[in-house]
Amino acid sequence: MIVGVPKEIKNNESRVGMTPAGVFELVKNDHTVYVQSGAGEGSGFFNSDYQKAGATILDTIGQVYAMSEMIVKVKEPIAEEYDLVQEGQIVFTYFHFASSESLTRAMIKQKGICIAYETVEDEDGTLPLLTPMSEVAGRMAIQQGAKYLEKPKKGRGVLLGGVPGVAPGKVLVLGAGTVGIQAAKMAAGLGAHVTILDVNMKRLRYVNDVMPPHVVTEFSNEFNIRKHIKTHDLIIGGVLLKGAKAPNLITRDMLKEMHPGAVIVDVAVDQGGCVETTKATTHEDPTYIIDDVVHYCVANMPGAVPYTSTVALTNVTLPYVLKLANKGWQSACRTDKSLEKGLNIVEGAVVYKEIAESFNLNIPVLV
């Protein structure tokens, strides 16, 4: 198979879909790999590294799409890339279709094979290709939240860990999944008081077992959320509904109940956000303020630490890339049920129920 790795063109996105090590494995399996010039530089991988691994370097993104049977990247195609996707071409990346009707309709029109990292699902319900980026984003959420709580960043001027004689800051984490647990771990490590909410009692019991005593758990409901936002300094949104839009757990009216200068980091922004006032931002302009509450809603948080993120991501995507290249997408998905769940749009038909329901799409739905 001919595999193409384009340079990411989303704002401040420095990750790359494949490392030289991945190229080496594909070439060893008799596949051809085209890498756009400069695609890996943001992550510390240079053209010469890819060439030594056996890749051919192409000058433009158009050449990579035009000459490849499968595109391997990190973020969803943006508007400039829509028309580059060819009929029958495999595109393997994060798509997050439920948060973008324009992207969904564009990929339907292009009739490509859209396989989404975020919906590849193991038998136990875990999401192996989302997990490493959720780990990065969960940990980063506390770093960024702590920074934007500083007064020069328009925060309320709270040090999360406190100091002797001064109480630590309070962190509220919505969701006890991968993002929430990693965020809680980082916040607890700084010495903050952490409250983590979820509707899954098994997850809350797990958190209770593994976290120190200053991380407390409560069942997630509107009453408890309204209670806690009044007293917490930093709120982390880490809610995920597989393949679907995130629910709005914090509504606009709740912001008025929060401390002026409190910070919201909505990691769920890729799926529409779990805060009503969430709108996607970039690393270039990461925050905005509504009702004196600082919102940090960067849609590609792991892109700020591209070396760590790229290596973590490609560690888990490469086995699937090899299966797709070795067997073709149909045979690979037939023999690997986890990968089959990654199929979102196939040659103009939405095959993932939650995406069709998100936009009431009047097209064939194969469930």
User: Using CA atoms, how far apart are residues 117 and 342, in angstroms rounded to an integer?
Assistant: 6
Residue 4 burial class via C-beta count within 10 angstroms: exposed 0-12, middle 13-18, buried 19 and up: buried
User: Quick one: which of 144, 217, 150, 215 has its CA closest to 185?
Assistant: 215
Is 270 known to be catalytic?
yes
Q: How many residues make up the chain in this entry? A: 367
Is 96 tagged catalytic? yes
Catalytic one of 198, 233, 266, 270: 270
Provide φ and ψ at 17, rounded to 5°: -75, -15
Name residues whose C-beta falls within 8 Å of residue 104's C-beta, 6 or more positions apart in sequence.
Answer: 97, 345, 350, 355, 358, 359, 361
Q: How far apart are CA 49 and CA 136, in angstroms?
A: 25
Angle at alpha carbon of residue 184, lines to 287 and 199, rounded to 5°: 95
Catalytic residue among 31, 96, 193, 295, which?
Answer: 96
200: phi then psi, degrees, rounded to nearest 5: -100, 110
Contact 243, 355 (CB under 8 A): yes
- Angstrom distance (rounded) from CA 352 to CA 362: 13
Q: Which residues are catalytic?
A: 96, 270
